Structure 1
Amino acid sequence: MSRQRKRSFGFGFFVTALLVGFLGYWAVTRYASFADAPIAGLHAGDTVTVAPGDSFPVVLGKLHALGVPKGDSLAWQALARQLGVAGRLQVGDYALDPGITPRVLLLHMREGKVIGHRFTIVEGWNIRELRAALARATLLEHDTAALDDAALMKAIGHPGQHPEGRFLPETYVYTRGDGELAILKRAYAAMAKALDAAWSGREPGIGLKTPDELLTLASIVEKETGNADERPLIAGLFERRLKLGMRLETDPTIIYGMGAKYRGNIRAADLAADTPYNTYVRAGLPPTPIAMPGNAALQAVAHPAGGDALFFVAIGDGSGRHLFARTYAEHQANVARYLRNYRKARKAPPASTSAAPPAGTPVQRQ
């Protein structure tokens, strides 16, 4: 080979090497810039779902459908391989917050940093209302739909136990793909813990024999008032009636016993019907709780207010508050006041917030 050809070959090799090096440098710089730059094409509130069985190309297709440019597909796949994401995608919903980078999003998918959804058990719900609310939760797996209450309790590990009152009202965080059973198991454990704490720390001499009795009375207190300061007053009143052998005569137990037959009104025949939940007819507590009491109601029963009141009735002014009385004569005067307020409220113009007396507020009798 001539010296001229050698020089030409050497120069060509140098140019090629320089070009390859430049392209390599450009690719590395471009790749690094892609990995740590905000993802283009997203909008506030966007989320992407990794469903069971999704491969990374499928998830990438979902990102493209949201507006992420398709021109970076190779960079996405290279980054996914580098981070070890392929084959380790965690199922769930992922937030595409403004400014999120490909690297951060893929690490979230690898580590399962999914969006947490919330389900709230409301104080005072009964088991029918709880199960209906679970059935409406669209992101939960409905794995209890085919179970009756007995099968449900068996599935969560407590066969033979009545489900009423056994799930603590609280907000529970879950992720897409979780089942109803998972939430119910957590709520059951939370109630067991709260009930144990209330029972262990109860005031001496409250007269209740078992934690289950405390739970049952707390469920009645929960249904009787939504006013925090009244719960210990009503708990103390009911506990005094139990000690004296007086019937509780509380409407929420009647309503619970009526079940689906309740249409917003308690008739004289309902008050006279001899059923396990009719505390106008039967002495003592009903056989089970009648609702899910919150922790405040549990603590109110464990630490009832002192006093000598044995009767109470709604004020009837729309506040949801009550009048308390020591004697039946005082109670009758309070009933008269309630009736005046109730009639006045019914005559009020439509804009008034006053209304008919709240269902479940008892007119206590002797």
Structure 2
Amino acid sequence: MDLPDTRDRGSRRRRLRRRRAAVAIVVALAVLGGGAWAAWGTLGPVVARVTESDDYEGAGSGSVDVKITAGDSGRTIGRNLAAAGVVKSQSAFVAAARAQPKMAAIQPGTYRLKSGMSSAAAVALLLDPASKVTTRLTVPEGLTVKQVVALVEETTGIPAADLDAALADPAALGLPAAANGNAEGYLFPATYDVNPGESAADVLKTMVTQTGTVLASLGVGPERVHDVVVEASIAQKEARTAEDMAKVVRVLGNRLAIGMPLQLDSTVSYAVGSTDKVTTTAEQRATDSPYNTYLHPGLPVGPISNPGEDALRAALTPADGPWLYFVTVDLQTGETRFATTAAEHAANVALFQQYLRDHPGQG
């Protein structure tokens, strides 16, 4: 019997082990090369070895504002910093950034750096929250345009006069035709980053654009925009929860279907500029305004607030139910009662009146 050549078999095994090891090394390098920057984009080709001549020394001087936008890669940021004179070279910055894993979490915004910094110092300053000079602007749901203007002025320092001038140019803001030149209802409530140098028009246009984005994501065609935003703006003012908003929209639809006036205090309050009150007086309900749903049938002429996504969804998919009435009976919890008959509604109104007696000044 011939014996196998064990030397050839052993050689083949060694060659196979070497090939597997080489593959493992390549895979490991691929993971290590991109993982730390996954949230910020790719660094591109492997950076050549950085020499002292590629980098500045020290903490730098003066002040340089640099904007980082969403999607910027590490190489893009390095190139922009070098062009602004913050660091000496893109390659030095990328090398310093690769040594700091926290750079993967860097957020878009404007950062105040210095001129002639070492790349390590630039990275450290980018990671310092105090260096970010972007203003965070949070617009709550249900504010009116007037209230949004006051909030933007207070938060960003942009003068109200500039904001009012921007609102007077609806085309520049990108308002849809359904808005009829009025930004009410189209300044989407969200949190925005406002960078130094942004104009009043820039800030407001961003809100209008976001409204369009949300409406498109919900599948609202141009022919439906007006009614959807108007109904959502009412639901936003009348209810606190998504469930109650959907019921409010159903009440609107049920009333409109039988030609019943909407008789909403929220629209009257908007008409008379008393948006901080939930009740209205007989004199206010007699005000001749296209927003007065006690005097004029159908929906008001336009939105009465800037609704959020929950309210927009409610306008698109109202709850199923026979309700014709609703009233919030507890202003602290937002509890709202819905009724089908006038007698049921009268009992709910009595609960609200008792609440007002127990909590003077809240109505």
TM superposition score category, shorter chain reference: 0.5 to 0.7
Task: Tell me if the contact between 2:65 and 2:110 (Cα under 8 Å) persists in the aligned partners.
Answer: yes
Does the alignment pair 1:156 with 2:156? no
Which is bigger in relative contact order (C-alpha 8 A, separation at least 6)? 1
Residue 357 of structure 2, aligned match among 315, 329, 343: 343
Identity, in percent, stands at 27
2:184 is matched by which residue type in structure 1? Answer: E
Residue 306 of structure 1, aligned match among 320, 334, 344: 320
1:290 is matched by which residue type in structure 2? Answer: I
How far apart, in 1, do the equivalents of 2:233 and 2:239 lie? 11
CA drift of 1:80 comes to: 4.3
Go from structure 1 to structure 2 and tell me whether the alpha carbon gap of 1:145 and 1:217 turns closer, same or farther (over 3 Å shift). Answer: closer
> Matches of residues 233-312 of structure 1 in structure 2 within 5 Å?
233-259=247-273, 266-312=280-326
Does the alignment pair 1:173 with 2:193? yes
Q: Secondary structure at the match of 2:204?
A: helix
Partner of 2:26: none
How far apart, in 1, do the equivalents of 2:347 and 2:274 lie? 34
Residue 214 of structure 2, aligned match among 191, 194, 204: 194
Q: Secondary structure at the match of 2:337?
A: strand
Go from structure 1 to structure 2 and tell me whether the alpha carbon gap of 1:51 and 1:274 turns closer, same or farther (over 3 Å shift). Answer: same
Task: Tell me if the contact between 1:118 and 1:173 (Cα under 8 Å) persists in the aligned partners.
Answer: yes
How far apart, in 2, do the equivalents of 1:344 and 1:134 lie? 36
Partner of 1:183: 203
CA drift of 1:268 comes to: 0.7
Partner of 2:362: 356
Partner of 2:145: 127
Deviations 1:65-103 (A, max 9, x none): xxxxxxxxxxxxx99445699xxxxx943379xxxx831
Does the alignment pair 1:328 with 2:334? no
How far apart, in 1, do the equivalents of 2:54 and 2:168 lie? 58
CA drift of 1:155 comes to: 2.6
Q: Secondary structure at the match of 1:254?
A: helix
Task: Tell me if the contact between 1:141 and 1:177 (Cα under 8 Å) persists in the aligned partners.
Answer: no
How far apart, in 2, do the equivalents of 1:232 and 1:95 lie? 49
2:143 is matched by which residue type in structure 1? Answer: W
CA drift of 1:234 comes to: 1.1
Residue 118 of structure 2, aligned match among 93, 102, 122: 102
Go from structure 1 to structure 2 and tell me whether the alpha carbon gap of 1:306 and 1:92 turns closer, same or farther (over 3 Å shift). Answer: closer
How far apart, in 1, do the equivalents of 2:137 and 2:155 lie? 8
Deviations 1:153-206 (A, max 9, x none): 1332448521111121111123222223222222111111222333549xxxxx
Go from structure 1 to structure 2 and tell me whether the alpha carbon gap of 1:317 and 1:189 turns closer, same or farther (over 3 Å shift). Answer: closer
1:193 is matched by which residue type in structure 2? Answer: T
Task: Tell me if the contact between 1:196 and 1:211 (Cα under 8 Å) persists in the aligned partners.
Answer: no
Task: Tell me if the contact between 2:265 and 2:279 (Cα under 8 Å) persists in the aligned partners.
Answer: no
Task: Tell me if the contact between 1:116 and 1:175 (Cα under 8 Å) persists in the aligned partners.
Answer: yes
How far apart, in 1, do the equivalents of 2:294 and 2:86 lie? 71
How far apart, in 1, do the equivalents of 2:351 and 2:318 lie? 26
How far apart, in 2, do the equivalents of 1:296 and 1:33 lie? 51
CA drift of 1:51 comes to: 5.5
Task: Tell me if the contact between 1:143 and 1:179 (Cα under 8 Å) persists in the aligned partners.
Answer: no
How far apart, in 1, do the equivalents of 2:64 and 2:55 lie? 25
How far apart, in 2, do the equivalents of 1:243 and 1:213 lie? 15
How far apart, in 2, do the equivalents of 1:280 and 1:127 lie? 23
Go from structure 1 to structure 2 and tell me whether the alpha carbon gap of 1:188 and 1:269 turns closer, same or farther (over 3 Å shift). Answer: same
Go from structure 1 to structure 2 and tell me whether the alpha carbon gap of 1:142 and 1:155 turns closer, same or farther (over 3 Å shift). Answer: farther
How far apart, in 2, do the equivalents of 1:79 and 1:292 lie? 41
Task: Tell me if the contact between 1:253 and 1:286 (Cα under 8 Å) persists in the aligned partners.
Answer: yes
Deviations 1:233-277 (A, max 9, x none): 111111111111111111111011112698886221111223211
How far apart, in 2, do the equivalents of 1:264 and 1:283 lie? 21
Aligned residue pairs, count: 270
How far apart, in 1, do the equivalents of 2:305 and 2:280 lie? 18
Cα RMSD of the aligned pairs, angstroms, is 4.0
CA drift of 1:301 comes to: 1.0
1:267 is matched by which residue type in structure 2? Answer: T
- The two structures have a TM-score, normalised by structure 1, of 0.62
